[in-house]
């Protein structure tokens, strides 16, 4: 896994997650669109997120806003 790409993905979602709790981006719409992908990342990046980044700080702690999004992610609704 290319750690530079992983850091870019985590950083991008970490930044995006700053807007959601403040109401600048609608959480329901954001998670409806990105939820399934966030669940994919939650599974596939689990080991990377638990690794230390800076001393004792894990990637999960460093990208805490991204982690916040991962905890709220749900699969997209199936369209009838």
pLDDT digits (tens, 9 = 90+) for 56-69: 999 999 999 999 99
Is residue 54 assigned to a domain? yes
**φ/ψ (deg, to 5) at 68:** -60, -45
Is residue 59 assigned to a domain? yes
Is residue 31 assigned to a domain? yes
The H-assigned helical ranges of 24-80 are 27-44, 46-49, 59-62, 64-72
Q: Can you give the pTM of this predicted structure?
A: 0.85
Is residue 80 assigned to a domain? no
Is residue 45 assigned to a domain? yes
**Tally of domains within the chain:** 1
Is residue 57 assigned to a domain? yes
Model confidence band, residue 80 (pLDDT cutoffs 50, 70, 90) = low
Q: Which structural domain, as residue segments, surrounds residue 61?
A: 17-72
Is residue 3 assigned to a domain? no
Is residue 38 assigned to a domain? yes
């Amino acid at each position: 896994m290319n750690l530079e790409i992983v850091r870019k993905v985590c950083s991008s979602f970490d930044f995006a997650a700053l807007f959601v709790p403040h109401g600048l981006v609608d959480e329901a719409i954001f998670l409806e669109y990105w939820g399934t992908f966030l669940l994919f990342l939650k599974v596939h990046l689990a080991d990377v997120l638990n690794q230390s980044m800076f001393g004792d700080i894990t990637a999960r702690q460093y990208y805490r806003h991204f982690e916040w999004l991962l905890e709220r992610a749900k699969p997209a609704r199936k369209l009838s």
